[in-house]
Amino acid sequence: MFTNNTIIRVRYSETDRMGYSYYGNYATYFEVARVEALRSLGINYKTLEDEGILLPVVEYSIRFIKPAFYDDELLIRTIIPTRPTVRARFEYETLRGEQLLNKAWTELVFFDKISEKPVRCPLHLEKLLSPFFPT
């Protein structure tokens, strides 16, 4: 299991008339958290994409417990629970202090830009993740 924490502060533009951070924003927050999780491993997602490997989301699911408000500092905990293959699963928890605001997960597919086909997780990423998934 691999875990990484990222801090995100709720922007004014992200609030809605209920005063909440709009429920659609979490897809963006999790994408930022996911990229920071990869960066902490030494993987630059931009470079990966420039080298022809896209990582589109194929499934996304979120359960809301409490809302976040303007200027809240949120901690997004990103978890890679299993060794990526052609797919990679990321799980997320959004916390404000001790409070759990929501839980979510995404499934992504490694996708070759040229062949337009799913491909295995790139070898260098597999190696970097390997210590977190001992057999």
Q: Which residues bind its own copies (CB under 8 A)?
A: 11-13, 15-20, 22-28, 31-32, 35, 44-46, 49, 54, 56-64, 67, 70-71
Q: Quick check: 129 and 84 in contact, CB under 8 A?
A: yes
Q: Which is nearer to its own copies, 9 or 120 (CB)?
A: 9
Q: Which is nearer to its own copies, 24 or 131 (CB)?
A: 24
User: What's phi and psi for 93, nearest 5 deg?
Assistant: -130, 130
Q: Which is nearer to its own copies, 11 or 130 (CB)?
A: 11
d(CA 101, CA 65): 5
Say which residues have a Cβ less than 8 Å from residue 98's Cβ, sequence separation at least 6: none
CB of 104 to its own copies, least distance (A): 9
Q: Which is nearer to its own copies, 60 or 133 (CB)?
A: 60
CB of 132 to its own copies, least distance (A): 24
- End-to-end Cα spacing for the chain: 12
CB of 111 to its own copies, least distance (A): 10
Q: Quick check: 74 and 95 in contact, CB under 8 A?
A: yes
